[in-house]
Amino acid sequence: MRVAIVGSGPAGFYTASALQAGDVPVEIDMVERLPTPWGLVRLGVAPDHPNIKAVSRAFEKIARKEGFRFFGNVEVGKDVSHDDLRRLYDAVVYTVGAQTDRRLDIPGEDLPGSWAATEFVAWYNGHPDFQDRTFDLSGERAVVVGNGNVAVDVARMLALTAEELAPTDTTDDAIAAITGSGLREIVVLGRRGPAQAAFTPPELQELGELAGADVVVDPADIELDPASAASLEEGRETARRNVEILREFAARERSDKPKSVRLRFLVSPVQILGEGRVEAVEVVRNRLVERDGALVAEATGEIEVIPASVVFRSVGYRGVPLPGLPFDERRGTIANDGGRVDGLPGVYVAGWIKRGPSGVIGTNKKDAADTVERVLEDAHAGLLSRESDESLEELLRARGVDFVEYAGWEAIDGHERARGEEQGRPRVKLATWRALLERARQLQPRG
Ligand code: NAP
């Protein structure tokens, strides 16, 4: 069986791994738009979390197994079409993640200085599509909207000291901007209460352990309404731990650290204010009301203006439609049943484009295994076939596509690690398309 996997993040590699462990001999071609694999593990996970990034070692093992090939710098929809893939493969699995950010839909959202957190994350991680961004961090206050782990990552990265950043693979430009910033306060806005926050306890706890910033929580801000208090009794361990940690933060005295990360709750941005660029965020105080069994935020009308020079909107990712595939607008996913794409035999999805942008990296292992179970079921039922035995390599060469093979990625990887070793860092990333492709070509003979 020949399978194409589109996208080389965790969902893609876990799909490959489950296929390799299956009972049908398989050849896997992984197609990736960038010259580099690993998706958000390379370009999303915060650089000061090397232990999370270490999952890439498992991906390397999967990539080195017989029958696996990597085709980087190949864009589906441009270099090859969905129809090409259907012709060449018995099955095509899309693991393309959630490529864009959710919007706030408030006035001022697009003022200069208002950024999607995902852009900032991609920039400090060396994503080659984002290196032209210039983040002006010269003001005193940044506002981060949202209460998920991405919001926590952004708040923490903004607060790291030169010593904390030095041993990471954050890009040099980002290290210079962060350590040279004028920021004194980073305010994180949660629209609901502490018991409804989406971040997880270890990530929250880290905010209390920063070398150059105090974490600040107003005790009045974390008083629980009766419904939230009752929800904690019902055994939501994550929420209970979060509330415990926040109470401990609220009891702390301020130290003489130069920065602070202030966690606010029950406030929603109503508009971003400024003449030609961000100057402040107008927020409204919320109360929690029960609707359809959930506690949702309802505006009270009580308004406050928080002066700030930069805003990071961190309210979740969203999947984008793929040409020729059915899209579920409400969920922002490819319409599917357990991984089988609706109405398209032989086409599957796994990861965020299947279930939405939730869970941690490991969540994708089970998710991908479930999809692969469907692929194997369909293979055994004789439902999978391909029209052509032409290889992707032949097709790409005929079209003059300059693809990057796994050896090309290994050349990039080896170079980055060697530069990192000289500086006591895990790697120094190549962050432009040109540098990545040049390095890949050096060890990748072209026939
Ligand atoms: P997320 O966990 O879905 O959090 C989104 C946050 O935005 C929620 O607090 C949500 O509040 C809030 N929000 C949504 N719409 C809003 C609006 N209009 N106004 C104000 N707030 C709004 O998303 P994420 O932070 O992007 O993370 C994505 C996934 O990656 C998560 O599963 C996360 O755990 C994972 N991740 C993990 C790590 C890690 O393990 N270290 C790091 C980064 C990301 P409501 O709850 O009220 O909707």
Q: Do the strands 333-334 and 327-328 form a parallel or antiparallel pair, or are they unpaired?
A: antiparallel
Q: Calculate what percentage of the chain has a pLDDT beyond 70.
A: 99
Predicted confidence at residue 445, as pLDDT, reads 54
| Mutation choice for ligand 1 from 147, 267, 358, CB with most ligand atoms inside 8 A | 147
| Mutation choice for ligand 1 from 99, 207, 315, CB with most ligand atoms inside 8 A | 315
Q: Tell me: the pLDDT tens digits for 167-180?
A: 999 999 999 999 99
pLDDT(43) > 80: yes
| Bridge partners of residue 142, in order along the sequence | 186, 310
Q: Calculate what percentage of the chain has a pLDDT beyond 90.
A: 97
First to last CA, the chain: 26
pLDDT(341) > 60: yes
Q: Tell me: the pLDDT tens digits for 133-157?
A: 999 999 999 999 999 999 999 999 9
- Joined tokens for residue 176: 């210079």
Check pocket membership of 104 for ligand 1, CB cut-off 6 A. yes
Distance 151 CA to ligand 1 centre (A): 7
pLDDT(447) > 50: no
Distance 155 CA to ligand 1 centre (A): 13
Check pocket membership of 192 for ligand 1, CB cut-off 6 A. yes
Q: Which residue is listed with tokens 């089988």?
A: 340
Report d(CA 240, CA 228) in Å as an integer. Answer: 10
Distance 316 CA to ligand 1 centre (A): 5
For residue 403, how many C-alpha atoms fall within 13 Å in the half-sphere facing its CB? 28
Identity of residue 208: G
Q: Tell me: the pLDDT tens digits for 98-123?
A: 999 999 999 999 999 999 999 999 99
Report d(CA 404, CA 437) in Å as an integer. Answer: 8
Q: Tell me: the pLDDT tens digits for 179-203?
A: 999 999 999 999 999 999 999 999 9
Predicted confidence at residue 234, as pLDDT, reads 83
Q: Which residue is listed with tokens 């996208």?
A: 7
Mind listing the domains of the chain with CATH numbers? 2-99+319-403 (3.40.50.720), 102-315 (3.50.50.60)
Atom 1 (ligand 1): residue with closest C-alpha?
Answer: 148
Strand order in the sheet with 91-94: 68-71, 27-31, 2-6, 91-94, 347-349, 340-341, 336-337
Helices (H) and strands (E) counted in the chain, each on its own, are 17, 20
Contact partners, residue 361, CB within 8 Å, separation at least 6: 10, 40, 41, 45, 52, 55
Check pocket membership of 316 for ligand 1, CB cut-off 6 A. yes
Contact partners, residue 388, CB within 8 Å, separation at least 6: 87, 88
Contact partners, residue 170, CB within 8 Å, separation at least 6: 47, 48, 124, 125, 157, 178
Check pocket membership of 198 for ligand 1, CB cut-off 6 A. yes
Predicted confidence at residue 442, as pLDDT, reads 84
Distance 305 CA to ligand 1 centre (A): 23
Q: What is the reported pTM?
A: 0.96
Atom 40 (ligand 1): residue with closest C-alpha?
Answer: 360
- 10 Å CB burial of residue 408 (0-12, 13-18, 19+) is buried
pLDDT(441) > 60: yes
